[in-house]
Chains A and B, each alone.
Chain A
Amino acid sequence: MIQTNTKTFYTLLFLASLVFAPTAAQAQVADSDSIDAIDEVVVVGYGTQKKSNVTGAISQVKSKDLQDLPLTRVEQALQGRTSGVQILQNSGQPGSSSVVRIRGTASINGSNPLYVVDGVVITGGIDYLNPNDIETIEVLKDAASAAIFGARGANGVIIVTTKSGKKGAMKVNVSMYRGTQNPWKTLPVLNATEYATLQNEMAAAAGQAPKFADPRSLGQGTDWQSKVFNPSAPMSNLEINLSGSTDKIQYYASVSKYDQEGIVAAGKSNYNRLTARLNTTIQATNKLKIGWNAAYTNVQSMSVAENTEFGSPLGRALNIDPLTPLYETNPMLLSQNPYSIAGALRKNLMRDAGGIYGISSVVTSEIVNPVAALMTENNTGWSDKIVNNTYAEYEILKGLKFKSSIGTDLAFYGGYGFRPSYYLNATNFLDTNLVYQNFNRALTWIWDNSISYSTKIKKHNIDIVAGHSAQETTGTFIGGSKRDVPSQNPDDATINYARNTNSRDVYGGKWERYAIESYFSRVNYNFNGKYLLTAILRADASSRFGSNYRWGYFPSISGGWNMHEESFWKSNKYIQTLKLKSGWGMSGNDAAGSLEYAATISGGRSYTFGSGEILTNGTSPTQVANPDLHWETVTQSNFGFESRIFKNINVGIDIYQKNTTGMMSRPVLPDYIGNDAPTSNVGTMVNKGIDIEANYSKVLKNGLAINVGGNISFVNNEVTLIGNKTGFLSGAKWGPQSLEISRISEGQAIGHFYGYKTDGIFQTLDEVNNYKSADGKVIQKDAVAGDLKFVDVNNDGVIDEKDRTVIGNPTPTFVYGLNISLKFKGFDLLIFGQGIEGNDIYNATRRYDLPNANMNAAAIDRWTGAGSTNQYPRLTLQDNNNNFARSSDFYVEDGSFFRIKNFQIGYRIPDKILKKLNIAGMRIYYSGSNLLTFTKYSGFDPEIGNGYGIDRGIYPQARMNSLGLSLNF
């Protein structure tokens, strides 16, 4: 790592470029117009580069690949389309974001890539971006490319360029689609008869009397999933854009309206977005170009709890018993507890036109009637975001340009909600209603100034850019709540409605500033398009770094060799082009929080004095200071080649190794020290992998155009050093008992599942008694036939915490994508699939701590006697062996899947028909999403981006069918 305390190092770079000048002085001037104009161009950050000259690992997705796909977010546009990028949608909730990992997870802290849209680093949400406004997306995967973004490039960089007007007359495009969404899978759970039968069996096994006299009389019971899912949920998109160019002005203007309702919880889960954009470029003089890209986005959305064991609509639907009716109509029951007290109905029972919602008499805690609970949830989020980029570029001399650009990202966002007073069960009730609201404003501005020079001296092609960048983020927030407003209607309830100030609560403040200052430079050199060289140096100072390490330096160098340009290369029918490339570089991750390096005094260490239960504020230092805190460094080497073979096949393969050092963590100190350790740069991590992309493209003589593309990415992640004595960090916890189910451990991939290994089921008591340690002790004394056999990992003759070990891994071995596109005459067909392989999912959807909670129908095949099964243990109310209460591989399943993400058939109406209508082009199409999913996973959906592969009741992806129309004028 290069660290100096001054800017001297940077100054050296400028001196170096001065030295470079006289060397080149002997060269002769060459005609710079000979650059191949039709060669593809790649955006590389602070400039562009010809694709054939790129030496880093950069993938590109173009607008034509995305045309008419029902995408809501930019991440979806990348999903499965490029190698080295793993994208999983967090869930199927409308508007849900995705987990994006470029070449593996590079840090235990933040591992999200940096988004740069038209030169503006987007610090807030990226969902403001309308995917149809995107011209290209570049993914900078290796450090040789990402070093230009320095201290924030470690997780890779996603550069988005929005559309601009093309030369020629104005074009108008109108496109729209409408579709319906449905859940693609419901889970088999026990019906009322099965439930009662198994409950009786559980009671009997514990020596208790059966609870249900005649299970068969109970029939099917309530199908809760059908009450919670919202079939045929609509979605629609309408979009109009105008683009074109006059002599001096290029323009692109668009508006879009997107509305989606969720497939869960009708009316409580939806996403509505309005976007407007104007991109203009003005050639003010021969030398001066002025540009302005402005986007406004409004989002209104509602969401319900998901992927939590503490009460989400789907989690409740799976766990509540099938005996409880949706509505309780039996007057006898309604006159009793819990519906009535002392003969009078409770006043806060949930009810609507259908009657009074049923309350379970057997399942408790958060597992309440899911439909009744939805009535109490009214959470609306909104945002207004304006992202603007204004720039001027002046050509001082031919090839020598100065560019100044100011970008702003201004976001207003907030939420409001209302909880009516309710009674759902004995532990879930609210006596007085609650209304709440919050309002936030965030502003990021970024000012870049750069000089670039592009020239060709004989066969030497040189592109140089150097510049300075400053960025600042500030924000303010305010919010409040009020109890006991005189309305139970979410639409009426506001904080002010109450006209009194009792229990009115307010909070507010401003963020601590976040500022970054940077210098950057890059030299691209190539000799006759044959020998390629790129060198980058970036210096970053971040307000998040400790005072001892304010400046960080991030160099990279990479080279390439276009072998097919050599004179010795003989034209052959096998290999048309071949480029070898190799690079090395450093980039950083400034994942620290504000003032995390300092010891600050925090309040809230209060105590209660006096008889009125009044809190008196106390303060104490939150941590020890660490002025040495600095960025995490990712050092990455990349080797690869790109080739065109058999004329129609493009192949690219990259092999890389990413070493993360200085990974931030809080070392665990002994508690007797009495205060927390500061965040320190103590950990290391390694990601190694191979990215492969291939594409076949051909137009047959009969006019059939075939395009088949695929990519596959292997990555191996290993945490090599945690930096505390125990060698691990506790990971995810589950349930009220905070069961530890995952860990980050040295020598393992990040976030591996953690618990007991099982070795089948004891079929007989003899097997229990014969399961002995080396010294003859019976290992599971408390077990009986039908219980899980746990592996005594440490061979000490007992099963205890020390036997817990790695029981699964949420990190896939590889991820892949497949894209098939066919065009024939006016018809077109598109199939796009994506998959991940080799990952595990921890299925934590059942509340085992509530023995009366309903179960997956897999329980029907439980152990019932010797030889019945070796998979599912016996059921009992007295689980002395902790068959279910232990985290074990019983809960771990294969999470691999392959999914047909999109399937599209379109037809382009012949021009001769359209001509009469004054229409330039018209396409109608059918589009289907998530039509097929191949997986062994038994839960709702194997695509679980959020939560490290732990399924606590995921909101599944919708299967969507839609019809669309696209018109050009």
Chain B
Amino acid sequence: MKSVKNIFRFALLSVVFCIPFGCKKEFLDVKPVARELEINYYRNEAQAFEALVSVYDALQWNDQGGFTMFRLLLNVASDECLAGGSDASDQPSWVAWDQFKTNPSLGPQVGFWRKNYKGIYRANLFLEKINQIADASPEFKARTSAEAKFLRAKFYLDLVQLFGRVPLITKTLNPSEYYTIKQETPEVVFNQIEKDLLEAIPDLPLANAIPAQELGRVTKGAAQALLARGYLYMNIQDKMDDVATLCEDIINSNAYDLEKNYGDIFKTSGEFGTESVFEIAYSENSRSDWGSFGSGWGEGNVSVQFVGMRDFSGAKFAPGWGFCPVSKSLADALRGDPRFVHTIIEADTMKGATYSKGYQNTGFFIRKYAPLIENKSKDGEPALNWGNNIREIRFADVLLMAAEGLARSSGNMTNAQNYVNRVRARVGLNPITSSGNLLLLDIYKERQLELATEGHRFFDLIRTDQASSILGTFGFIKGTHEHLPIPQNEIDASQGALKQNNGY
């Protein structure tokens, strides 16, 4: 009987002894350390501004889905540069675009797609949250909202140019909406781009009205120039007078001028200089390393490392990885032009220097974003921490866009010529005097030489219908290679919501 009683006692003791040790509910609650819960966030201007910065952040990503530097890859796709690297297997997706052998699983499309849609999500999130913040001033809300709209427009413009038909998403999605998405025509997407930019322009400050520490934030001129670029690249013929108007408004705002010396534009001192309408900013101070590569955390510009001469040893330049060797055709086109030395490095004629000849070596390398010893980052992995900003929109581009807008809308021909000649005069070239269609051809030639290796040529060739004739030898097929394929993994993940582009 004793044992039985003991079992009873055991049970009782279990309850008596153990239950009281039960912990308070809070014992299992974890307070976040050095981070916050989303449900407690977006309460004031400071937090809203951080959210806006995260939208800007997406602008500079080069690492989503491998090395996917937007402007650099556009050089590769055009006739200006080849893919390069150590050998053909170094960056297969670069080689594929260079030779128009991209397919849904091969090419740089994943990076472009992901980067822009992440940026769009952050812009959408910002635009949803900003109006719920009670104690933000109307001025703050207006300017930051305009910036978010500009950035959203920039992301969509890149997408629509790269992919054509893309999903148009202007709010953050609920899980129930994930697979109800449809691709829209480029026209529908561009309508949203135009709407965002038209709404943003009046709320943005002029470039000469913002303090030095705000350099890099979106200005009115940047938004006007992006809209003009959009009209041009979408080839909307009845908007050509708007292109001229927008660009002349920028020209007449007196907020910009051409750098005196062409070679200064791409120096560190030229960053946010008088010619800069919009730059994508990078820093040498983010100490990023390979561990964070792919996460978008780094703020450096790996483009610079890419274009450097492979294993270079000599003065002035730091070694790079030998990508984007400049084509002989561009070198020939620039030969004799004062801009040649500021655009192209002739590696084989440098005295006292050596480099390794990589894949598709031509001996010509990009000068504008070349790695200079003096710019090398002292922290983190140097390859990933170059601070060179990408000159996304230059005043020279605005002048040439203004001229093109005038030329294509039967505007003032003298003004058009003057704008082109302003660009030519800076480097000591004779003025042009052409008009009509010849003027247009001169403008296109000027764009090629002035903006060489800055990543504009590929879309210029497409919009001016020269792609087949110039890129045909590389494998370009009209009707297909204007756009990249939609990434295969995206088509798979969308559960049938997305359709592949023509020809892929």
Contacts and interface: CB of A to CB of B under 8 A. Distances in A.
Asked if A and B are interacting partners, one says yes
Interface of A: 14, 17-18, 20-22, 24-25, 27, 29, 337-338, 341-342, 364, 396-400, 402, 425-427, 431-432, 447, 449-453, 455-457, 462, 464, 466-468, 470, 472, 483, 503, 505, 509-515, 517, 519, 521, 541-543, 550, 594-595, 598-611, 613-621, 624-625, 668-675, 724-726, 736-738, 800-802, 849-851, 879-880, 882, 885
Interface in B1-52: 1-4, 6-11, 13-15, 17-19, 21-23, 27-39, 41, 47, 50-52
B483 interface: no
A672 B167 contact: yes
Interface in B448-504: 487, 489-490, 492-495, 497-498
Interface string B351-371: 010101000000000000000
A858 B16 CA distance: 73
Contacts of B37: 595, 598-601
Given A338-B313, A603-B35, A851-B87, A29 B2 contact: yes
Contacts of A472: 27
A456 B4 CA distance: 10
Contact of B87 (A337, A801, A849): A849
Nearest to A542: B28
Contacts of B409: none
A375 B8 CA distance: 71
B151 to A, nearest CB: 10
A114 B28 CA distance: 21
A475 to B, nearest CB: 10
B89 to A, nearest CB: 4
B28 A669 contact: no
5 contacts: A605-B122, A613-B285, A618-B57, A670-B493, A674-B169
B38 A605 contact: no
B214 A610 contact: yes
A505 B380 CA distance: 12
Interface in B57-114: 57, 59-60, 66, 86-92, 103, 105-106, 110, 113-114
Contact of A466 (B14, B29, B495): B14
Nearest to B11: A17
A17 B38 contact: no
Contact of B283 (A543, A608, A849): A608
Given A27-B4, A513-B30, A598-B32, 9 more contacts: A338-B313, A399-B6, A466-B10, A601-B36, A608-B216, A608-B387, A613-B387, A614-B285, A849-B87
B3 A517 contact: no
Interface string B276-314: 000001111111000000001101000000000011111
Interface string B242-257: 0000000000000000
Contacts of B192: none
A515 B47 contact: no
B51 A470 contact: no
B32 A605 contact: no
B206 interface: no
Contact of B378 (A18, A24, A483, A541): A483
Interface of B: 1-4, 6-11, 13-15, 17-19, 21-23, 27-39, 41, 47, 50-57, 59-60, 66, 86-92, 103, 105-106, 110, 113-114, 117-122, 124-125, 167, 169, 172-173, 175, 178-179, 181, 212-217, 271-272, 281-287, 296-297, 299, 310-315, 319, 352, 354, 356, 376, 378-379, 383, 387, 389, 487, 489-490, 492-495, 497-498
B214 A455 contact: no
A550 B379 contact: no
B162 to A, nearest CB: 14
B86 A456 contact: no
Contacts of A447: 21
Interchain residue pairs A-B with the least CB separation, the first 6 = A674-B121, A618-B53, A885-B89, A618-B54, A605-B54, A607-B56
A468 B18 contact: yes
A515 B25 CA distance: 11
A512 B30 contact: yes
Nearest to B12: A18
A605 B387 CA distance: 17
A668 B287 CA distance: 30
Of B19, B167, B214, B281, most A-chain CB atoms within 10 Å:
B281
A608 B314 CA distance: 31
A447 B217 CA distance: 56
A334 to B, nearest CB: 14
Contacts of A397: 2, 6, 9
Of A398, A456, A514, A610, most B-chain CB atoms within 10 Å:
A610
A24 B90 contact: no
Nearest to B166: A672
B299 A17 contact: no
B18 A615 contact: no
Contact of B89 (A601, A625, A849): A849
Given A608-B281, A620-B122, A674-B172, A21 B4 contact: yes
B84 to A, nearest CB: 14
Contacts of B10: 17, 400, 451-453, 464, 466
A14 B53 CA distance: 57
A668 B215 contact: no
A834 B405 CA distance: 79
Given A21-B4, A672-B494, A605 B296 contact: yes
Given A600-B37, A601-B35, A606 B18 contact: no
A519 B18 contact: yes
Of A472, A517, A671, most B-chain CB atoms within 10 Å:
A671
B215 A726 contact: no
Given A468-B22, A618-B56, A610 B215 contact: yes
A426 B32 CA distance: 44
Given A517-B28, A671-B490, A673-B121, A606 B103 contact: no
A226 B148 CA distance: 60
Contact of A736 (B36, B90, B379): B90
A673 B490 CA distance: 11
Nearest to B7: A21
Nearest to B173: A673
Contacts of B28: 515, 517, 541-543, 550
A804 to B, nearest CB: 10
Of A431, A550, A608, A725, most B-chain CB atoms within 10 Å:
A608
A653 B401 CA distance: 82
A782 B23 CA distance: 70
Given A601-B38, A613-B284, A674-B124, A607 B489 contact: no
A673 B33 contact: no
A730 to B, nearest CB: 10
Given A396-B13, A670-B493, A607 B125 contact: no
Contacts of B215: 609-611
Nearest to A802: B105
Nearest to A798: B103
B481 to A, nearest CB: 18
A606 B35 contact: no
B39 A599 contact: yes
Nearest to A16: B11
Nearest to A458: B3
B36 A600 contact: yes
A726 B51 CA distance: 32
A30 to B, nearest CB: 8
B89 A426 contact: no
Given A455-B6, A737-B92, A607 B167 contact: no
A670 B181 CA distance: 10
A515 B27 contact: yes
Nearest to A502: B378
B51 A618 contact: yes
B283 A615 contact: yes
Contacts of B389: 608
Of B39, B54, B56, most A-chain CB atoms within 10 Å:
B54
Contacts of A670: 178-179, 181, 490, 493-494, 497-498
Given A604-B297, A619-B47, A620-B125, A512 B14 contact: no
